[in-house]
Amino acid sequence: MRVPSATYIVTEQHGSYAVLELPDRNDAQIIYFDPDRGYPSFSGVSEYDNFRSKDDAINRIKNHEDNVKIYNYYMIAGMFPVGNATIICFIKSVSDAGLLFKKHQVYSVDSLVYVVANKYSLTQNEQKILSIIESYPIKYGHFICHTYDLSMPLSCKPSNDCIINRYISQVFDFFTIGKICPNIIEGLFNVNTFGKYEIYQITRVICETCGPVNAVRGTNQTGGLGNQTIVELIFTNYVGESIEIQSQIILRGCTPISYVPNSVTPDLVPYSTIPVWIVRTNAVFGIPKLNIIDFNKEGGDVDRAFKESLTFVGDSLALSVKNVDWSNLKKSMPFDQALQIVAKLTDELLDKTTISSGFMDRDKIKFTVKQDSAIVVTSQDGLDRCNFGLFVVATRSVFKFINKVQLDPSYNKSILEHITTATINSGNLVSNLSADSDSFSISDILRAAKKDNRSVPFKRRKQGSDDQARLKAWAVFDGSPNKPNLPMTFPSVFERIRCVSDEPGACILSSPAARPLFEMRQAILTNSDTPIVIMLNEPCFVTEVVIRLPSFYDRRPTPSSLTIYGGPYANRIFPVISNIALSTGEQRISLSITPPEPNHYRHECIAPYLSLVRFLVFDFSSPFDKFILLGIKVFGCKTLPQILQRPQIPLSPITDKLEFWEEPSHDAFIQWEERRLCALMPLTEYLHKVTKLDPKMNPGIVLAESIFRLMPSNVEQEGIICNCGRPADYRCSLCRKYFCRHCDKPNDSQDSVSDPNNTCKLCLSCSDKRFKMTASVTKLVTLNARMANNLYPFIGKEDGKFYEKSPFVVINQLPIGKNGVSFEQMLATGKEWTPEVNYVKVDLLLKQKALFRNIIVKTKNPVDILFGNDVLHFLPPGNRSATIEAVGRVFSFVFVGNDIGITGFDFEKDDVYIKESYPKTDKNIPSCDCSTIKTRLISNSQQKLSIIMPLNEQGDFTNAVTSGIEISDMTNIKSIAIFVQDSQGGEKFFRYYIPKMSGMQRLLLPSPLEFRQLTVYYTESYGNFNLPTAKALIVNVK
């Protein structure tokens, strides 16, 4: 498929020509326009008006005509008369809008050009009409595709209702050279890619008629489809040779449903309009069910006329009607609050059968399943409410699709940017449709222009384009911390972006004394070896960083590159952007806080999918020892709405992580956390907030058992029937549907959560679901506990009050029990500790490193304790013990349960004494590593590690015995960790502190060890160093 072109050639004496290169042909054609009336003609004769190439065709015209003028365009859109003139409409330029199903290129029409085809001078009235037509905005609102018919949704038959040039292009349909004029569809085309997944947002506007009220509502004077908007959402998953597709259709601006009694009387309601529109919609789209959402002004009932209309068509079409009380949505209400009001109603429809699923072949692109139903968004009181409802429904539908991507374990990247793009696309969709009567074919535009009715089709259309441009300008952050609030009709899911570095509490931590960050506005001389550590006032989503450096003419030393790290805690940061080149002047760096992989952390970290950032580390590189910084500014937003929060996923346990870093310095932990938590509030106030039952602060407080609460199963009133028409015998306690015993035999269920006197019966479907849900209770509780495990870092101080009576001390503050007993008092006195929360994280610090063997707990009520990846169950009464094996000095436990009551807590342990280890080094250690044994070395400079695997003579992996490692260059290396793995799954870990050395060194292990893989971690350094080459000192091969 080649790129099309249309070359328009104007001659001085004869008519004009159009040399065409069509996308589905390999030759070129010449269309001749008569000089008197401008009518086109084409004979199809080779070497006369059909040539092998465009150059041959243009040369043919130049050889027979004098003084020609050549204009290059994209394609012809159509032709229409204006008075005695014939106007040709050309597509001047297009831009890429995206690929449909990774195969069909879609283009956005940027501009149209109108030229007079015949030799005629326009009159003043005709010039006025043409100027009105030329002022109609096209950009960002029309698209074309040469290889696929996008005139209607996938599951519907093709139609001309959405093609704005359908009438003016008919004159070229008689030529037998192919599709001369592409189908220009009014609307938007957006695609967001998530790996193997794609989400398409396609908007089509039916431009059949031009008119006031009826056309706005979606019906013309005869009850047919008027200015109705079709929003199609497609979610694709590429599976093998096929494409799994889920599609949803949303219709906007359709037939009126509710009426205001004071303004419209029932006698004036057009009874026939609604049934005709419903039947026509069913015929055009082939959709058997319509789910109508009415954004009514006062939240009243559906009008009597509409009820009668539903009765009239009820036998042939399934309908459902929902009303949204618009009076609850105030104009000054924040978008998040308005969204929550409407979301409950929309989610009820989205969770049902409004989405159709099916497969299609990648080559044939044929959808095998028809659309089952569609959502209709409408309002009697204006399209502003329709547009808001359309935005909410479209955005929530996209988030439903995105949730499926988040739950796919194979897709581990952050999709925050994709969510942002999808939301902005939905906002563009709304702003593009903000005009009441903004959807017209060119013939309708011509008709309105002749009547000089510019205010109807053009003024509102221009307003919609301005709103769209304003939304785009607002969404693309330009660095200004103060942004005007947009009206609720055009919202964004993000709050206002602001300069977070100018807020009180933001400071520089890398200097000896923390200074306010706004002091970075003045020139600062800093060392290239010392990174700049910045703490913000509170965690936020960082979007942009501005670095101010001296200008080129300043001649002062400047840094050459920059690496930025970020994270919620000072000891848990990850790379945000690496080795970005810096020039002079002001540098604006757009940041994307994406969730890091576990091996990308600069420090040991167990937190999942970090996107909130509190600490930023700026690591500059410079050829100079010192350089000048004129300022650093950080921009971001504080929070995201609830709809954008990622679901909790299973986390890797602490015990599975390789802890090769130095022992935690508890004073440093406490110092960092006090700075982090006490920037705005005292530590006691913070603890008071996080220990209260507040879902916003503690998302894990809702226990998994609450999802099994069952309702009574008895039938409340007589006359309720089952779907089969028989009287209902019972009501399912879970799905709340009525059944008779002939259709579905109930299963009795014991309900220990709600009232035991309830008669709980479940249908077969819900009984199976509840059985599966019950099996996952432990897993859900574990996930909630792990959430707590990552929400609470070290936030307290070491309290030595009970340290003498206990071998350990609690280093984090715990909630006081209902009786005023603290956890420490329980350890010392045996009094009952009853916190007012249903999960508590306890961090313990031992006097020295020890080996734990058993944990002993005495509890009043059943309680689960999460330790690492294990869930330990304890039941009353008496002391209960559980076997654990762990070595360390700091241990974390999470107590989970209803009405926690602990009266005893102790360990059985053995003390472990570890001397500080320095490696034995000897350059003359004999080794046959380089001569007889082959090894495969994998080095990663970003992660600072080397992996060594022995190979036999055939090149296969094998086992070998090593006595140590050989490092090619030990310059600036401070410590090394060696992780040895054998073929049986055994693992051993050694960590060495290296004195100041240089050159090649050989490090001995305490004794020769068999290994299949040996990993060397360069954990600490005195400064920058190049990744050395590592070799294993092989003794023999197994």
Nearest alpha-carbon partner for 606 in 654, 656, 557: 654
Distances (CA, A) of 920 to 662, 924, 946, 995: 20, 12, 20, 11
Query: Residue 672: enclosing H or E segment and its boundaries?
Result: helix 666-677
pLDDT, averaged across the chain: 67
Residue 796 has, within 13 A of its CA and on its CB side, a CA count of 17
Q: Is the pLDDT of residue 220 over 50?
A: no
Q: What is the distance between the alpha carbons of residues 448 and 996, in angstroms, rounded to a whole number?
A: 85
The position carrying tokens 């831009």 is 95
Nearest alpha-carbon partner for 396 in 371, 363, 419: 419
In the three-class reduction of DSSP (H, G, I as helix; E, B as strand; rest coil), residue 16 is classed as strand
Q: What 8-state DSSP symbol labels residue 394?
A: H
Q: What is the distance between the alpha carbons of residues 500 and 517, in angstroms, rounded to a whole number?
A: 10
Token pair of 961 as six digits: 């015995």
Q: What is the distance between the alpha carbons of residues 865 and 854, in angstroms, rounded to a whole number?
A: 13
Structural domains of the chain in order of their starting residue, each with its CATH number: 183-465 (no CATH), 498-637 (2.60.120.260), 704-775 (3.30.40), 779-911 (2.60.120.260), 934-1037 (2.60.120.260)
Q: What is the distance between the alpha carbons of residues 52 and 28, in angstroms, rounded to a whole number?
A: 6
- State which amino acid sits at residue 622: S
Q: Is the pLDDT of residue 73 over 90?
A: yes
Q: What is the distance between the alpha carbons of residues 886 and 737, in angstroms, rounded to a whole number?
A: 51
The position carrying tokens 């700049």 is 532
Q: Give Dmax over CA atoms of the chain in angstroms.
A: 111
In the three-class reduction of DSSP (H, G, I as helix; E, B as strand; rest coil), residue 812 is classed as coil
Q: How many residues does the chain have?
A: 1038
* Range name among 96-105, 315-324, 642-651 with the lowest pLDDT average: 642-651
The position carrying tokens 């300069």 is 499
Q: What is the distance between the alpha carbons of residues 896 and 701, in angstroms, rounded to a whole number?
A: 9
* Range name among 266-280, 690-704, 884-898 with the lowest pLDDT average: 690-704
In this prediction, residue 435 carries a pLDDT of 39
480 confidence band (pLDDT: 50, 70, 90): very low
Q: What is the distance between the alpha carbons of residues 529 and 511, in angstroms, rounded to a whole number?
A: 13
Q: What percent of the chain has pLDDT over 90?
A: 2
Residue predicted with more confidence, 1000 or 256: 1000
The mean per-residue pLDDT over the stretch 931-945 comes to 65
Report pLDDT digits (tens) over 844-896: 766 566 777 788 888 888 888 878 767 788 888 777 777 777 776 667 788 87
803 confidence band (pLDDT: 50, 70, 90): very low
In the three-class reduction of DSSP (H, G, I as helix; E, B as strand; rest coil), residue 923 is classed as coil
- State which amino acid sits at residue 635: F
In this prediction, residue 931 carries a pLDDT of 37
In the three-class reduction of DSSP (H, G, I as helix; E, B as strand; rest coil), residue 991 is classed as strand
Is there a contact between 238 and 256 (Cβ–Cβ < 8 Å)? no
* Range name among 272-286, 305-319, 381-395, 945-959 with the lowest pLDDT average: 305-319
Q: What is the distance between the alpha carbons of residues 1031 and 46, in angstroms, rounded to a whole number?
A: 74
Distances (CA, A) of 82 to 209, 440, 444, 445, 451: 20, 18, 13, 12, 12
Q: Is the pLDDT of residue 784 over 50?
A: no
The mean per-residue pLDDT over the stretch 474-493 comes to 28
In the three-class reduction of DSSP (H, G, I as helix; E, B as strand; rest coil), residue 623 is classed as coil
Q: What is the distance between the alpha carbons of residues 461 and 111, in angstroms, rounded to a whole number?
A: 15
Q: Per DSSP, what are the bridge partners of residue 107? A: 96, 144
Is there a contact between 252 and 378 (Cβ–Cβ < 8 Å)? yes
DSSP-derived secondary structure for 313-370: HTTTSEEEEEEEEGGGS-TTS-HHHHHHHHHHHHHHHHTTTTSEEEEEETTT----S-
Report pLDDT digits (tens) over 502-530: 776 677 766 544 455 555 555 667 776 77
Angle (CA) 76-82-87 rounded to 5° is 20
Report pLDDT digits (tens) over 738-748: 888 877 777 77
Q: What is the distance between the alpha carbons of residues 613 and 500, in angstroms, rounded to a whole number?
A: 11
Distances (CA, A) of 626 to 511, 529, 556, 621, 698: 15, 9, 10, 10, 46
